[in-house]
């Protein structure tokens, strides 16, 4: 599960990765023509919309790609850097940068790119940016109130607007495609080209179909969390869903068996209840843990049997269904739920005058379990909630 | 030898998008640029005026947020890569040349002042916006960050809004 740093790729190797990514970044920008100020500002005077096309194509491709990765559980979005929002600082900073764009002809990334191929104006621009940072640093007491005001945390745009991720993504794709179309019309007008901006050639048909695929993709990658929560909100569905169960006696037996190292109990009750009473070999979990990278490791340990318990049986089944849908293996729920375990084992009342051999055995086993298990429970140290050791990556500029 | 033509913008966009996607998948963060300039600025002040760097609030806050040398920074490595990548690309496409580009109706002097002032505006703006076109706008769009997308629209709005007043610089 991504991000690969710092597990698969160490923080030091990450610097090499940064270098390689930078080389590709620089090469793509240069090949696209971002190394000349005349082409860059063309966007604002209508004679060259290359920047708009490259920028928005890249933005929507990456956006849809991330939705896809998150949908298939390949990336833990809780660990990915989401730019924080300081509303007024973002707006005023953006306007200043916009002014800087038409005055200076570059933005920082493109200036580095242009400087690399010898553009003197770009080298001067970088010097200016360097001075700008110093001005900000030295004038920090003046900028600070604005810089730190209106902190909204790190919300996503669709959450802010209260719409679904899919609709927002679709709107962005449609916005980009519409932008490309209008840009082509304006560009031709400004440059005095009479040919229609979009013609029925394989080239335009190709672009339009890729755009259409992206627009549709906005809907085929729903937010997994939202869709799974919806799936388990139907109680009759939850009850019909086929999940393996484990009987209270088997659980009691395996809890008492010291050699059994395969059993692990995943407890979804709240922290308070868990603190009061927790079974041996159990770990406290939350529903969010199921989607996270760190807790994820616990559920994927080989050959372990994961028994899900929760405040009631239906809740445990819901969690098990979500885990099952997420592709986790060897998940079982406790038959009758935790309450049954408490009633039938821990508070076992002996069957009087056992008639069959089965009842005889039940009496014998449960009486033994009733005396042994409380000791194990007493000695058990509660584990969890699974701590997020991994912190969100610090990104941005 | 003639300069080679630029790449098709949509193709370049798809490649850039895939690169950004890979970057986020591997590192958990997006692309950036202005942060590297900031790292160099902080390093310069720490070297030239260490006592000032220890007392002024901006540098203290920077030190709190970043451990180690400011130059051992992801973006510094990435931007070094950009320099190399762009240079190689320019070499292959025969675009290496020392020249100062300016609009047809402007003077060299104005272009130099414009580049310097424009750069400075970016220096200030990218601090307030917590990132520039790459770090805030593009990477912010990819993760659908509210702040990133607001900054993106503000950059475009600012540029279009002020474009008219500086048209003599370019056309």
Which residues have a Cβ under 8 Å from the Cβ of B23 and sit 6 or more positions away? A21, B29, B30, B31
Q: Which of residues 89-148 of B touch A (CB under 8 A)?
A: 89-90, 93, 95-103, 111-112, 114-148
Q: What average pLDDT does the segment B104-112 reach?
A: 94
Confirm if A268 and A224 have CB atoms less than 8 A apart: no
Is B28–A122 a contact, with Cβ atoms under 8 angstroms apart? no
Distance (Å, rounded) from C-alpha A383 to C-alpha B9? 54
Identify which of A210, A214, A224, A211 has the alpha carbon closest to the alpha carbon of residue A164.
A224
Q: Which of B12, B102, B159 sits opposite A98 (nearest CB)?
A: B159
How high is the pLDDT of residue A396? Answer: 59
Q: What average pLDDT does the segment B150-161 reach?
A: 96
Does the CB of B168 have a partner CB in chain A at under 8 Å? no
Distance (Å, rounded) from C-alpha B85 to C-alpha B11? 18
Confirm if A108 and B126 have CB atoms less than 8 A apart: yes
How high is the pLDDT of residue A296? Answer: 79
* Structure tokens belonging to residue B17: 């998008």
How high is the pLDDT of residue A259? Answer: 85
DSSP state of A342: I
pLDDT band at A385 (very low <50, low <70, confident <90, very high): low
CA distances from A323 to A75, A183, A214, A266, A330 (A): 16, 47, 29, 11, 10
> Which of the given ranges, A70-79, A261-270, A298-307, B8-17, has the highest pLDDT on average?
B8-17
Measure B52 CA to nearest chain A CA, in Å: 10
Q: Which of residues 54-93 of B touch A (CB under 8 A)?
A: 56-59, 65, 72, 74-75, 77-90, 93
* Structure tokens belonging to residue A11: 């923080």
Q: How many CB atoms lie within 10 A of CB A150?
A: 12
Is A397–B24 a contact, with Cβ atoms under 8 angstroms apart? no
Q: Is the pLDDT of residue B2 over 70?
A: no
ipTM tops the 0.85 cut: yes
Distance (Å, rounded) from C-alpha A95 to C-alpha B170? 20
Q: Is the pLDDT of residue B126 over 80?
A: yes
Q: Is the pLDDT of residue B46 over 70?
A: yes
Distance (Å, rounded) from C-alpha A106 to C-alpha A109? 8
pLDDT in tens, A328-382: 889 999 988 888 888 888 888 888 888 888 888 888 899 888 888 888 888 777 6
Question: Which residues of chain A neighbour B38 with C-beta distances below 8 Å?
Answer: 133, 397
C-alpha count within 13 angstroms, C-beta hemisphere, residue A110: 25
Does the CB of B7 have a partner CB in chain A at under 8 Å? yes
Q: Which of B95, B117, B156 sits opposite A103 (nearest CB)?
A: B117
């Amino acid at each position: 599960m991504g991000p690969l740093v710092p597990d698969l790729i160490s923080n030091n190797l990450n610097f090499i990765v940064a270098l390689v990514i930078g080389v590709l970044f620089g090469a793509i920008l240069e090949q696209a023509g971002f190394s000349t100020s005349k082409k860059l500002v063309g966007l604002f005077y209508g004679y060259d919309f290359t920047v708009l096309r490259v920028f928005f194509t890249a933005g929507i491709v990456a956006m849809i790609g991330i939705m896809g990765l998150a949908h298939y559980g390949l990336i833990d979005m809780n660990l990915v850097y989401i730019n924080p929002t300081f509303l007024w600082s973002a707006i005023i900073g953006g306007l200043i940068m916009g002014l800087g764009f038409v005055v200076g002809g570059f933005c920082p990334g493109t200036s580095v790119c242009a400087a690399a191929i010898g553009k003197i104006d770009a080298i001067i621009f970088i010097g200016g940016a360097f001075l700008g940072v110093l001005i900000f640093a030295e004038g920090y007491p003046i900028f600070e109130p604005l810089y730190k005001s209106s902190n909204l945390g790190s919300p996503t745009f669709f959450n802010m607007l209260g719409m679904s991720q899919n609709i927002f993504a679709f709107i962005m794709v449609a916005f980009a495609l519409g932008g490309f179309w209008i840009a082509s019309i304006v560009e031709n007008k400004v440059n005095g080209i009479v040919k229609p901006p979009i013609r029925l050639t394989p080239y335009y048909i190709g672009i339009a179909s890729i755009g259409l695929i992206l627009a549709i993709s906005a809907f085929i990658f729903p937010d997994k969390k939202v869709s799974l929560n919806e799936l388990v909100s139907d109680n009759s569905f939850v009850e019909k869903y086929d999940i393996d169960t484990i009987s209270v006696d088997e659980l009691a037996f395996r809890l008492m068996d010291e050699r059994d190292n395969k059993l692990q109990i995943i407890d979804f009750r709240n922290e308070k209840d868990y603190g009061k009473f927790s079974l041996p070999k159990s770990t406290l979990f939350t529903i969010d843990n199921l989607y996270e990278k760190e807790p994820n490791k616990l559920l994927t340990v080989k050959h372990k049997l994961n028994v899900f318990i929760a405040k009631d049986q239906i809740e445990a089944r819901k969690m098990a269904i979500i885990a099952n849908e997420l592709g986790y293996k060897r998940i079982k729920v406790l038959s009758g739920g935790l309450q049954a375990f408490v009633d039938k084992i821990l508070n076992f009342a002996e069957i009087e005058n056992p008639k069959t051999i089965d009842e005889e055995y039940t009496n014998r086993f449960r009486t033994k379990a009733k005396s042994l298990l409380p000791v194990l429970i007493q000695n058990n140290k509660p584990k969890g909630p699974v701590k997020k050791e991994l912190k969100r990556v610090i990104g941005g500029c | 030898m003639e300069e080679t033509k630029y790449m098709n913008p949509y193709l370049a966009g798809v490649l850039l998008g895939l690169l950004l996607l890979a970057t986020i998948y591997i590192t958990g963060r997006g692309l950036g640029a202005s942060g590297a300039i900031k790292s160099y600025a902080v390093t310069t002040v720490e070297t030239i005026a260490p006592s000032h760097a220890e007392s002024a609030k901006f540098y203290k806050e920077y030190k709190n947020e970043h451990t180690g040398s400011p130059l051992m920074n992801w973006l510094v490595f990435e931007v070094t890569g950009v320099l190399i990548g762009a240079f190689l690309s320019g070499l292959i496409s025969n675009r290496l040349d020392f020249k100062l580009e300016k609009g047809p109706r402007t003077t060299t002097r104005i272009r130099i002042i414009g580049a310097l002032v424009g750069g400075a505006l970016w220096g200030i703006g990218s601090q307030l916006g917590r990132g520039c076109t790459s770090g805030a706008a593009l990477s912010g769009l990819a993760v659908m960050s509210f702040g990133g997308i607001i900054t993106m629209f503000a950059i475009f709005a600012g540029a279009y809004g002020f474009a008219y007043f500086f048209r003599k610089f370019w056309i």
